[in-house]
Amino acid sequence: MGFLNWNSHRQSNKKISGVIVGQRYHSFTIDENSALKIPLLSKGINLIANDIAGIPLLKNEKECASDALHVPDFQSKEEWLQDLIQQLLLHGRAYLYNSGKAWQVLESKRMTENGISEDAITVDHYRYVYSGLAGQKEISPEKLICFHYGNGVLNYDELLQAALQMQHYQAITLQQAQKPNGILTTTGKLMKDSAEKIRSQWENLIKGNKIAVLESGLEYKQLSLNPDQMTMPEMSKILNVSIADALNLQPEMIISSSNKYNSLPQRNSLYMDDTLQPIINCLENGLQRIISNIKFDVTQFENKLDQESKMQLLKDQLDYSLINTDEARAALGLKPTGNPQKHYSTGKAYQNADGTLFQPNLPQQQKNNDQASA
């Protein structure tokens, strides 16, 4: 938490006039575990992995290919694909290893690829080495399927470091009841033991969310900025958008407050074409080693996106009174009610087939309608 400002005074018998209190800069090791602790990044990876893993795999354009993939017994086809896609998005590369019984997803962080050149100019082939608990083992290319896609999110070190720092700062700020970094100064001189005692007492007060009462000529001077002065809300928005960009995702797919396009059809189209399809192409190319002509049948998923877009379009048309309720039901293949109504923006007013207006939120109007129906 806090630390002493010794400057050049290293010996315990030297005296100092100030003690720095507050939080230190905390540097994070960027790896899979730390990256997946960033909620937005984890949300984006899960969204992509779950959507692709839920798409049926076909061979010969008709038969289901799931049984022919030789997935490990402890995993379903969906879980297997989710692991594979997660490794691909995090590292930019993923590996399937043929153990003789099944194709298992390897941890990309344990794999190294070394290009071997005969003429010292071009790469003739690659040497693959797996570093496990029992040491290093070279894997034959015939037993390995390699997937490469983009840079891998873990290579955005500065972005992930900033996101983790933001989370750490917010957590520490809450723990310290929003007490910023500062320095306690005194008109006199302090021995090292006295300075350490003051620092310890200050940190105990902060951890307990108590009010510090300064005595014996101590004075507190703020060194750090508060969240508003540091424009933390704006920085958080920029980081969130950058994380979405690193995943090649439209921000509104994982950020509820983002509404760049304000159009569900356009958003779904970009999600399918720019985000999912390149990953699907990468997976199909690699899985050809197991099953020739294997394809992800995206028809059902595209129909789902089209249905969402269609529902949004019908809702907009109803809201702007361009169609009535029976016309909307007909577009969805539903039977008409026999009493088509139009939606108007003033108090949710509806127009009946005979041209009269009906506002269900008006008590008198509701009373008249009840009497008419009786």
Residue range 226-282, pLDDT digits in tens:
555 555 677 888 899 999 999 999 888 888 776 655 577 788 888 999 999 999 999
| pLDDT at residue 210, rounded to an integer | 56
In the block, residue with structure tokens 């508060």: 226
The verdict on residue 339 lying in a domain is yes
**Strand stretches in 275-356, DSSP E:** 295-296, 342-344, 349-351
Q: For the segment 183-235, what is each residue's pLDDT rounded down to a tens digit?
A: 667 766 767 777 777 777 767 666 655 556 566 667 666 655 555 555 567 78
| pLDDT at residue 43, rounded to an integer | 95
| pLDDT at residue 173, rounded to an integer | 67
Joined tokens for residue 302: 């595209």
Report yes or no on whether pTM surpasses 0.75: no
| pLDDT at residue 194, rounded to an integer | 72
Structural domain harbouring 369: 320-373
| pLDDT at residue 243, rounded to an integer | 93
| pLDDT at residue 1, rounded to an integer | 35
- Mean pLDDT to the nearest integer, 340-352: 71
Would you place residue 116 in the very low, low, confident or very high pLDDT band (cuts 50, 70, 90)? Answer: confident
The verdict on residue 122 lying in a domain is no
The verdict on residue 71 lying in a domain is no
Q: For the segment 122-161, what is each residue's pLDDT rounded down to a tens digit?
A: 888 889 999 988 899 999 999 999 999 989 999 999 999 9
The verdict on residue 360 lying in a domain is yes
Helix H or strand E segment including 246? helix 232-246
- Mean pLDDT to the nearest integer, 168-174: 74
The verdict on residue 111 lying in a domain is no
| 3-class SS of residue 129 | strand
Phi then psi dihedrals of residue 327, to 5 deg: -65, -40
| pLDDT at residue 373, rounded to an integer | 54
Which amino acid is present at 374?
Answer: A
User: Rg of the chain's alpha carbons, rounded to an integer?
Assistant: 31
Is residue 97 a contact partner of residue 143, using CB atoms and an 8 Å limit? yes
| pLDDT at residue 4, rounded to an integer | 36
| pLDDT at residue 3, rounded to an integer | 35
The verdict on residue 367 lying in a domain is yes
Residue 290 has pLDDT above 70, yes or no: yes
The verdict on residue 348 lying in a domain is yes
The verdict on residue 283 lying in a domain is no
Q: How many domains does the chain have?
A: 1
Which residues lie closer than 8 Å to 363 by C-beta, 6 or more apart?
none
Mean pLDDT, all residues of the chain: 79
Is residue 143 a contact partner of residue 98, using CB atoms and an 8 Å limit? yes
Q: For the segment 25-75, what is each residue's pLDDT rounded down to a tens digit?
A: 578 899 999 999 999 999 999 999 999 999 998 877 667 766 778 899 999
Beta-bridge partner residues of 98: 103
Is residue 279 a contact partner of residue 149, using CB atoms and an 8 Å limit? yes
Q: % helix / strand / coil in the chain, to the nearest 5?
A: 45, 20, 40
